[in-house]
Amino acid sequence: MVDESRELVLYVQSKKAITTFYRPPPAAQRTPIGSSPGGAPGAAEEAQSVGEPVFFLSDDQSRCVALVEEIAAKRGYHPRVVDIEKVGRLERLITEHLRGVQKFPVLISPLGRRLEGVEQFTEDELSAIMPTELKSVRAFSYLKVRGGDLDRIRRLLETLPEVKELHFLTGDWDMLVVLDFPPSSANKRRVLDFVTDRIRGIPEILDTSTVVPEYTLTKFPLT
């Protein structure tokens, strides 16, 4: 059973064309050339060649659909694509989500947030509309730094793969370091071991204070 909190609806608007391009009838309806149940030669074949509607999406809407499906799969969401040209007119009129819509596609989140128009379908916007649990272990470490060469300290911290962000502060603490550890081997003790061994091992680092969240939800794109 699909979790409703993870369902999204993506409304697209295709274009309809009438094609006269020949399409062969199903095998059960085929008759030998020159003879047909209606008496006229090839009547079944001729009926398949005229007045047949074809629906197609523009390339920019198709790209949006592909992007939504790709990001939803990574973040555990389930998009349902609805082509408004293929649903009944009454259904379109009573769909509250589409009132006032000027541009398609339109993506509706489980909480009712809406993205409208191809310009809004970016990885950042789609990640924000589909928040998800962060699989890695994230930690935040405040550093007190002895006066010296800040560029050298920054370069040393940048070489550590676990260091994802550096923020320089004013106040009681001089820096905030964002750390990230793979989920397979990370735990609170390992995070603190890393801070005490690797970060406090830098001579200019006088003190640290580290926070390891119990649970993390992210709206940022997953790397």
Q: Is residue 48 helix, strand or coil?
A: coil
Lowest mean pLDDT among 15-29, 36-50, 122-136, 150-164: 36-50
Instruction: List the CATH code of the domain at 133-218.
Output: 3.30.70.920
DSSP per residue, 72-119: HHHHT-EEEEEETTSS-HHHHHH-GGGTT--SS-EEE-TT--EEESGG
Structure-token match 């059960």, residue found = 28
| Model confidence pLDDT, tens digit, residues 121-142 | 999 999 999 999 988 899 999 9
Q: Which residues contact 170 (CB under 8 A, 6 or more apart)?
A: none
- Decide the pairing of beta strands 137-145 and 175-181: antiparallel
Domain with CATH 3.30.70.920 in the chain: 133-218
Q: Is residue 209 helix, strand or coil?
A: strand
pLDDT for 25: 64
Whether this prediction's pTM lies above 0.75 is answered by no
CB environment 39-48: b (16+ within 10 A), e (fewer): eeeeebbeee
